[in-house]
Amino acid sequence: MYRWEITRAALAQRVFAIVRSKTYDEASATADTLLSAGITTLEISLTTPFALEAVTTLTRELGEDAVIGAGTVLDAMSARMAVDAGARFLVSPSLDPEVIRTAHRYGVPVFPGVSTPAEIVRALELGADALKLFPASAYDPSWLTEVRAALPQAPLLPTGGVTVDSAPEWIAAGAVAVGMGAALSEGDRDTVAKRAAELLARLAEATPGGAAGDEESVLYGG
């Protein structure tokens, strides 16, 4: 698949789940719960012990049924290791040109972290496939609306502090998708399944407004 095809698949549900755990077993259990709940895109944070092994296992077992990526990728070495492990996309809390260059060399999309208009523009210049607005808790959806009025070409992914209630508001403000961690995965399987079903339904119904264009045209050139 081309980078744009992977990006589209990864963000198709307008949400990607972040798995960040204290142990490999805990991460595997969380991933299984999320996948069973119907979430199809998972970011395995490299802060999790044996995260790359988890990426490899999930990618091998799930094939095209899910899109598994690596998160908290901070440098070129980590990027190459994640790509070799089978990560389909990379996410970073920061903007490092070498992470983008390394992943793109092997056809893997990157969603680097940005927090200012200057960083957004710089990330676009570097060819980032989508932009992780981090931490989203420092902003509100109206900020994103204002930024996208000036930068409608910026595909933003609010992450960090996003909840089931606020996620549709971010989409309505012009976000192409949101990243969610414990706010999505916390609880037993039934709780997560119910929460995920509610979230996916609300995200599917959310209508972007305010900024020029919609999220599909920004991401895929439509």
d(CA 3, CA 10): 10
Q: What is the 3-state secondary structure (H, E, C) of the chain?
A: CCHHHHHHHHCCCCEEEEECCCCHHHHHHHHHHHHHCCCCEEEEECCCCCHHHHHHHHHHHHHHHCEEEEECCCCHHHHHHHHHHCCCCEECCCCCHHHHHHHHHCCCCEECEECCHHHHHHHHHCCCCCEEECCHHHCCHHHHHHHHHHCCCCCEEEECCCCCCCHHHHHHCCCCCEEECHHHHCCCHHHHHHHHHHHHHHHHHCCCCCCCCCHHHHHHCC
Say what the pLDDT of residue 210 is: 43
pLDDT beyond 80 at 154: yes
pLDDT beyond 90 at 209: no
| Residues taking part in catalysis | 43, 132
Overall average pLDDT of the 119-137 stretch: 98
- Average pLDDT over the chain reads 94
pLDDT beyond 90 at 213: no
pLDDT beyond 80 at 222: no
**CB-based contacts of 160, cutoff 8 Å, min separation 6:** 134, 135, 136, 137, 179
**Structure confidence at residue 38 as a pLDDT band (50, 70, 90):** very high
Say what the pLDDT of residue 182 is: 95
Say what the pLDDT of residue 215 is: 55
Say what the pLDDT of residue 111 is: 98
Say what the pLDDT of residue 218 is: 57
Residue 152 tokens, joined: 């409608």
Per-residue pLDDT tens digits for 94-123: 999 999 999 999 999 999 999 999 999 999
pLDDT beyond 90 at 3: yes
**CB-based contacts of 69, cutoff 8 Å, min separation 6:** 10, 16, 41, 42, 43, 44, 55, 87, 88, 89, 90, 91
Residue 117: φ, ψ to 5°: -60, -35
Place of tokens 């961690």: 181
Overall average pLDDT of the 16-31 stretch: 97
Say what the pLDDT of residue 155 is: 98
**Structure confidence at residue 134 as a pLDDT band (50, 70, 90):** very high
**Structure confidence at residue 211 as a pLDDT band (50, 70, 90):** very low
